[in-house]
A and B are shown apart, each in its own frame.
Chain A
Amino acid sequence: MARIGVFVCHCGTNIAGVVDVTRVAKYAGSLPGVKVAVDYKFMCSDPGQNTIIDAIKKYGLDRLVVSACSPRMHEATFRRTAERAGINPYMVEMANIREHVAWVHSDDKELATQKAMKLMEMAVAKVRRSEALSKMFAPIEKRALVIGGGIAGIQAALDIAGAGYKVLLVEKEPSIGGRMAQLDKTFPTLDCSACILTPKMVAAAQDPNITLLTYAEVTEVCGFVGQFEVKIKKKAKSVNSKCIGCGVCTTKCPSKKALSEFDEKLAPRKAIYTPFPQAVPNVPVIDRTACTFFLTGKCKICEKVCPTGAIDYTQQDEFIKEKFGAVVVATGFDIYDHSNYGEYGYGEIKDVITGLQFERLISSTGPTAGHVTRPSDHREVKNVVFIQCVGSRDEAKKRPYCSRVCCMYTAKQAMLLKDHYPETQAYVFYIDIRSAGKNYEEFVQRAQNEYGVLYLRGRVSKIYERANKLLVKGADTLSGAQVEIEADLVVLANGFEPKKGAKEFAQLFHMSSDQYGFYNELHPKLAPVETAISGVFVAGCCQSPKDIPDTVAMASATAAKVCALFAKEKLEVEPLIAGVNQLTCSGCETCYNVCPYSAIEMKDKEVKRGEVRHVAEVLESVCKGCGACVGACYSKAVDLKGFTDRQVLDQVETATAPITDN
């Protein structure tokens, strides 16, 4: 006969403020098999856990129900508690009376209490049928895959490699570096972006533990923590390993069809190109959609001029399949496309540019060699208007979130403009200035006080083109005045967006995203770099908009998580897997066909003395416990540990029965 203990948590007032916890405990005490039922302020605290351990010893309990928060939060905690008191950890069930009761039924305490009693009773019904399970272990492939070679991916790769583990860094562009490589100087110190980034790019390329794979993309993922099997497409570069990076091909290439992605389409680029001079690796690729030879069958100039014979027009996309124990996703962001802002000219006014374009214009390695001129007529500028929150904090554009970085980068850009051209005047239209961060507020103050940047609180209602100028009309809500500024250039602080294709990418890993497409962390506070997929971590702007310091911190955090995983001998895995009753198995192979992991083997086996039959068998180390086979088996011969038919049916029965408390 089961000896069950029920422990009801108040969670401070989180639960007890809505649910009558004493009544829940009292009801528990009346249920068959329950030897003790108590309530306590915080069950997960040390004294709370000790209450459980003492009760286990005092009442000789062999199984527990904890009525508290979500099992996704604390099931592991209470399993360990049970283990410490000498009970098998799988003899523990939780009733979720916080997330599923107190927090969602606060409008009726009586109904909430009744439901809490019911959920607890269902957990008691389930735990009665629980069986002791022994721990299982799986091997770990101690090699990490980092996807995305922006500053996040580079930092994560360097840290993991620094701890002595192998890393494959996959980047879809021809070079690593990401957005940071496009920036001129960085707030709040105004140090040059390339100067601090390039050494890291080079370090990543030279680290013996890091393998770089650029111009490559992940196309398929299977497996799980410790054992991910990943298929990667190496796009044909049309340039082989003989390339020494001399760049002659790029200089001589006659094609001017394509626009430079790196320069935000402000300048053309060749068909054979490296995105920027400091590219790592310094190996060009041929963009076949722009290459004269691929388009017309004639040219081959690059082949002629290449001193090492590195050009290979016959190269094909290549697929490789490799194993990794953990994955860091660092795929970064795109900026909001302002072509649906009518007031800013629908993206059709040439001299209304994005913040990222401004970075390229003012960068000495940019298309104008650092001269800020108008894209339309290349004239120098005098008055520049910056507009913040374009595609951020705008409900109408379905972008209600703050992109966090734009207030700062606008202040930076206005200062850089003044540094380069002291005679210019910068105006900034803003909603609020958000400058939380070390030395950030001081930075914005400097822009206003030392650099004389004029901040106008309000929105711009329209930009007109008039006589070679841009007429910017808006409101200054502080003075209440309508303002009209004659500008030469307008720079928009476009907000951050998930990378194009982020959704399809998430599906490869079955990661979840928020309503905008940024990847979800496992817990907003306590697990900010983990995802719901064990062994997959997120770093940088693919999770939410952030600046470089936060991106780097997050990347290092993922590395710490990966290293902690790799430091283990082997991985403890849940023994909640399927098992076949071969006496009732009819050998129909249904389970064999539905199992997503090929964890079922069909065997001819002597099931009873003298009776050899074709039956299914579960490969324990491969089964992930999804239960697809259990749901599909016609003979009811497969069952799932921890979620057995008997357990679920007892929960169903209890759920539908009336409460018998009085």
Chain B
Amino acid sequence: MDNKVPQLNIVGFLCNWCSYAGADMTGLGRNTYPSNIKVIRIPCTGRMDPMMIIEAFHNGADGVLVSGCHPGDCHYTEGNYYWRRRYPHLKSLLEHFGIDKRRFHASWVSASEGKKFAEVVKKVTAEVKDWRDNG
């Protein structure tokens, strides 16, 4: 996918210990991805308050990605289990309110998975773009 997708705004919430570090690794390895995503660092996916995601869409974000440690690897042992439980509920709730499912994503990216982070962002961006362009 082309890295240049103008006028598309994606907010990314990355946990400090795995996915944020993984995104740093993407840079270290000079892997490229579309620049639409703006990352907000959070301590852990367990800190994700649904309000923050709703607020992002409310403010006009086209897409949201939440990424944390692989299940079992959360720095705080259990945070991502809470998030894993919350995510599908929130997703269907948002769909109910008219937020297309292509706009809201979750992923597990570890501190060493720099390449994977680039892949995730490409995939998420492509889906959000698909929603925007094709409805």
Contact = CB atoms under 8 A, between A and B. Distances in A.
B33 A645 contact: no
Given A72-B20, A576-B43, A628 B79 contact: yes
Contact of A594 (B20, B42, B82): B82
Interface centre among A100, A115, A626, A656 (most CB of B within 10 A): A626
A102 B118 CA distance: 14
Nearest to A625: B43
A224 to B, nearest CB: 10
B10 to A, nearest CB: 9
A652 B32 contact: no
A70 B24 contact: yes
Interface in A31-85: 70-73
A606 interface: no
Contacts of A597: 76
A279 interface: no
A520 B49 contact: no
Contacts of B3: 105, 107-108
A368 interface: no
Contacts of B77: 222, 510, 596
A487 interface: no
A240 B61 CA distance: 67
Contacts of B49: 630-631, 645, 648
B52 interface: yes
B4 A657 contact: no
A116 to B, nearest CB: 10
Given A576-B43, A627-B42, A108 B35 contact: yes
A103 B27 CA distance: 5
A99 B23 contact: yes
Contact of B32 (A105, A515, A576): A105
A581 interface: no
A98 B46 CA distance: 27
Count class of interface residues, chain B: 35 or more
A515 B60 CA distance: 37
Nearest to B61: A656
B39 interface: yes
Nearest to B60: A656
Given A512-B110, A630-B47, A99 B11 contact: no
A407 interface: no
A576 B43 CA distance: 10
A98 B27 contact: yes
Contact of A510 (B6, B51, B74, B118): B74
A496 B43 CA distance: 35
Given A106-B32, A119-B38, A510 B75 contact: yes
A507 B76 CA distance: 12
Interface centre among A70, A100, A112 (most CB of B within 10 A): A100
B33 A104 contact: yes
B20 A627 contact: no
Given A71-B41, A627-B79, A652 B55 contact: yes
Contacts of B23: 99-100
B9 A643 contact: no
A652 B24 contact: no
Contact of B56 (A96, A515, A533, A656): A656
A656 B64 CA distance: 11
A100 B39 contact: yes
Interface residues of A, number: 56
B47 A643 contact: yes
A104 B9 contact: no
Given A507-B72, A512-B18, A520-B112, A652 B27 contact: no
Nearest to A647: B40
Contacts of A119: 38-39
B118 A643 contact: no
B76 A596 contact: yes
A414 B118 CA distance: 46
Contacts of B69: 510
Contacts of A657: 59
A653 interface: yes
Contacts of B42: 627, 643, 648
A99 B28 contact: yes
B100 interface: no
A654 to B, nearest CB: 9
B74 A99 contact: no
A371 interface: no
Interface in A643-662: 643, 645, 648-649, 651-653, 655-657
A100 B59 CA distance: 23
A112 B4 CA distance: 10
B27 A99 contact: yes
A160 B40 CA distance: 40
B83 interface: yes
A255 interface: no
B82 A122 contact: no
A642 to B, nearest CB: 8
A594 B74 CA distance: 14
A103 B32 CA distance: 8
Contact of B43 (A70, A108, A627): A627
A632 interface: yes
Interface string A318-344: 000000000000000000000000000
Going nearest first, the 4 A-B pairs with the smallest beta carbon separation are: A627-B47, A99-B27, A103-B27, A626-B76
14 contacts: A70-B20, A73-B24, A99-B28, A111-B6, A114-B35, A115-B38, A510-B74, A513-B112, A594-B82, A626-B47, A627-B44, A631-B86, A632-B46, A653-B55
Given A510-B74, A631-B46, 14 more contacts: A72-B16, A99-B28, A100-B23, A105-B32, A107-B3, A115-B35, A118-B38, A510-B75, A512-B112, A627-B79, A645-B49, A645-B52, A648-B52, A653-B55
